[in-house]
Amino acid sequence: MNDFTIWDMAQGLLLSARWTVLLSLIAFVGGGLVGGLLLVLRLSAGAKVQAMIRLYSEIFQGTPLLMQLFLGFFGLPMLGIEVSPWLAASVTLTLYTGAYLVDIWRGCVEAIPRGQWQAAASLGMSHGQQLRLVIWPQAMRIATAPTVGFLVQVVKSTALASIIGFTELTKAGSMLTNAVFQPFIIYSMVAALYFAMCFPLTWYSRVLERKQGLALKR
C-alpha cells in the first residue's frame, strides 16, 4: 500500500523534467556548435574533409540513436574510458544533433541563389566574408523554422537516455510506476509534460514557416 497522491506523483515528474530540459539544451547548443563548425568546413574545406563530414552525418543519421547511446555508454568502458549516464547521453545527443543540423543548414545555404555569392565576390569579399555577411543572414531566415522543428525531435529523443540509466522524465515515470503501480495515470502525466514542452516549439515553428512563406511572396 502506498500513500502517494496525484500531486506527489506530478511533483516528482516535474522535478525530473528539469533534466529532460537541461539535456535537450545541452544537446541542441552543443549540436549547434558542432553543426556550425562542420558546415563551415563542408563549404570551404577540401574534398577529403567534406567526405569525412558526409560520412559522419551518414553514420549518425543511418543508425538508431538507441544503438549510439549503447555504444557510448557500454562501448567506451571496454576501451578503458569510464563514462557516466549523464556524460554518455550528453555527448551522444550532441553528436546526433550536430549530424542533422549540418545537413539542415547546408540545404538552407544551398537554397540561396548562386548570384548572391557572385555579387559578394565582385565586391572583393573573401569566401568567409561572403558566407558570414551575405549568405548566412539570408539562409538563417530559411533555417529558423526547420531548426526549431528539429528541436522538438531532440526533446523527444532524450527519452531514450533512460535506457542507459539517466534519470530524466521517462525514467522517473518508470521508477514511479514500479512504486505506485498506476501506469496509466503516471504515463498520462509523462505524455502531458512532453506535450507541454514540445507543443510551443511546434507552434512557433509553424509561425516561422508562415512568416517565411509570406516574405517569399513579397
Q: How many other CB atoms are there within 10 angstroms of residue 186's CB atom?
A: 25
Query: Domain range for residue 200?
Result: 6-217
Q: Span 55-77, mean pLDDT? A: 92
**Higher local confidence (pLDDT), 217 or 101:** 101
Cβ atoms of 40 and 195 closer than 8 Å: no
Residue 23 domain-assigned (yes or no): yes
- pLDDT mean across residues, the chain: 87
What is the CATH number for 39? 1.10.3720.10
Cβ atoms of 189 and 9 closer than 8 Å: yes
What are the angstrom distances between the C-alpha of 157 and each of 39, 56, 94, 95, 195?
23, 19, 11, 13, 13
Residue 107 domain-assigned (yes or no): yes
Residues in contact with 12: Cβ distance below 8 Å, sequence separation at least 6, in sequence order: 172, 176
pLDDT category of residue 70 using cuts at 50, 70 and 90: very high
Residue 162 domain-assigned (yes or no): yes
Residue 31 domain-assigned (yes or no): yes
146-161 in b/e form (b: 16+ CB < 10 A) is bbbbbbbebbebbbbb
Residue 198 domain-assigned (yes or no): yes
Cβ atoms of 91 and 81 closer than 8 Å: no
| 192: pLDDT strictly greater than 70 | yes
Residue 59 domain-assigned (yes or no): yes
Domain count, the chain: 1
| 19: pLDDT strictly greater than 50 | yes
Residue 1 domain-assigned (yes or no): no
Q: Can you give the pLDDT at residue 217?
A: 54
Residue 106 domain-assigned (yes or no): yes
Q: How far apart are CA 86 and CA 88, in angstroms?
A: 6
Q: Span 64-91, mean pLDDT? A: 89
